[in-house]
Structure 1
Amino acid sequence: MTKKWDVVDLLRHSRHDWLNVIQLIKGNIALHRLERVDEIIDEIIQKAQNESKLSDLKIPALASELLTINWENHLYEIELEVIGDVQDLSAYEQSLQVWCKKIFSLLDDVCSNSCENQLLLTFYLVEDDLSVSFDFQGEIQNQAVIKDWIRANEKTGTNMTIKEFVMNSEEVLLTLALVK
């Protein structure tokens, strides 16, 4: 989460992503799988809506990092979701950046590279109940490392607290409550 992208790199990665999607749509049209084409288009719309909401949360540095993170070398793919109404999260940006960086690095250290790993990062913005959830699905090689890290970070002294933590060999769910 530290690479600074120049405009040419951003456009190159974005163009590559769009070409992949267009090829996927074109291939499904050739196979007469129009229902799948419709699903792909719905997925694109949902992704664009989530990215738009993320961009409006007044956390520009974090949003920039999250919108480009899949272009970096990680052992998992990140999907973003924003549930609820857009709110001003600028007071939480620095803390969220620190937590995201630590969690992403931790997952890189403990998840297996022999399977497809997914991380759903969800911003829950429902009235006064603000939280951010990290839901990892994949293969964890060392659960003890995560448990130790959670114990060490439970009392962060920041404007966030751990609301929920669940883990097994194939899932880690960590939800942070944003404290006003």
Structure 2
Amino acid sequence: MNKDYEIKLHYWELIEKILREQRHDFLNEIQIIYGYIRLNKMDKAIEYINKCSKNAKIISKLSNLNCLELYLMLCDKFKEASNLGISIDFDVYSCCSKEDIVDKNLDVIVSSFEKIINIIIQCMYTNLYFEEQIFYIQEDKDRFIFKTEIYDDSVMSKLRSSLENFNGVFFKDRCIIYEAHLS
């Protein structure tokens, strides 16, 4: 099987996964709203609709990423955090095109992103300090950058000790920054 065919097949499989998950999630949300309406709990229905709207806006921001693997992983982390009652948001800056990154080996980079975000989410889950955390994601043709600010010194100390051995992670002021160069 040639390399171009493998890449195209890989992306079609990812797109199929996204569509399947979104359809499933949408139908679940409709059922919950319908249940609230049937129970005549209009305030709960409106509250849930607002939550769904906010979540859709966050996922929409992530859809601006050109790296499909990164998009899928971040969507999964967003859902995981939401299920734990953790509020995260994303600011996404994409300064490249799909063509710039389609032939790059992104497995290690996306895996490192995931491990770093897992550590931060776990820390958020075990600390009452966090109300909402914003993750800044920048996508360039030659690198990806992740950044988040931590305002609590003890939390920053815990995260620093957990993340200091990750290649590409550094700390500046109150920020954790991960910079991954694409090859």
- The TM-score with structure 2 as length reference comes to 0.55
Alignment-derived partner of residue 133 in structure 2: 118
Alignment-derived partner of residue 166 in structure 1: 172
> Aligned-residue CA RMSD in angstroms?
3.9
User: 2:159 & 2:144 partners in 1: Cα distance?
Assistant: 20
User: 1:90 & 1:120 partners in 2: Cα distance?
Assistant: 26
User: 2:160 & 2:52 partners in 1: Cα distance?
Assistant: 42
- Structure 2 gap ranges (5+): 1-16, 34-46
Alignment-derived partner of residue 92 in structure 2: 81
Q: How far off its partner does 1:57 sit?
A: 2.4
Cα gap change, 1:106/1:150 in structure 2, threshold over 3 Å: closer, same or farther? same
Bigger fraction of residues in strand: 1
User: What does residue range 41-52 of structure 1 map to in structure 2 within 5 Å?
Assistant: 44=57, 48=60, 50-52=61-63
Alignment-derived partner of residue 19 in structure 1: 49
Q: How far off its partner does 1:14 sit?
A: 6.7
Bigger fraction of residues in helix: 2
Alignment-derived partner of residue 38 in structure 2: none
- Structure 1 gap ranges (5+): 25-43, 155-160
Contact 2:134 2:148 in 1 (8 A): yes
Q: How far off its partner does 1:176 sit?
A: 0.8
Give SS of 1:109's match: helix
Alignment-derived partner of residue 178 in structure 2: 175
The partner residue of 2:164 within 124, 132, 151 is 151
Q: Which amino acid aligns with 1:85?
A: C
Q: How many residues matched?
A: 142
User: What does residue range 5-154 of structure 1 map to in structure 2 within 5 Å?
Assistant: 7=21, 8-12=23-27, 19-20=49-50, 44=57, 48=60, 50-54=61-65, 56-59=66-69, 62-72=70-80, 73=84, 75-86=86-97, 87-88=100-101, 91-111=104-124, 112-125=127-140, 128=142, 130-137=143-150, 139=152, 141-154=154-167
- The TM-score with structure 1 as length reference comes to 0.56
Cα gap change, 1:67/1:14 in structure 2, threshold over 3 Å: closer, same or farther? farther
Larger Cα Rg: Structure 1 or Structure 2? 2
Q: How far off its partner does 1:103 sit?
A: 1.4
Cα gap change, 1:124/1:115 in structure 2, threshold over 3 Å: closer, same or farther? same
Deviations 1:97-124 (A, max 9, x none): 3222221221133333244131323123
User: 1:52 & 1:65 partners in 2: Cα distance?
Assistant: 12
Cα gap change, 1:138/1:116 in structure 2, threshold over 3 Å: closer, same or farther? farther
Q: Which amino acid aligns with 2:158?
A: V
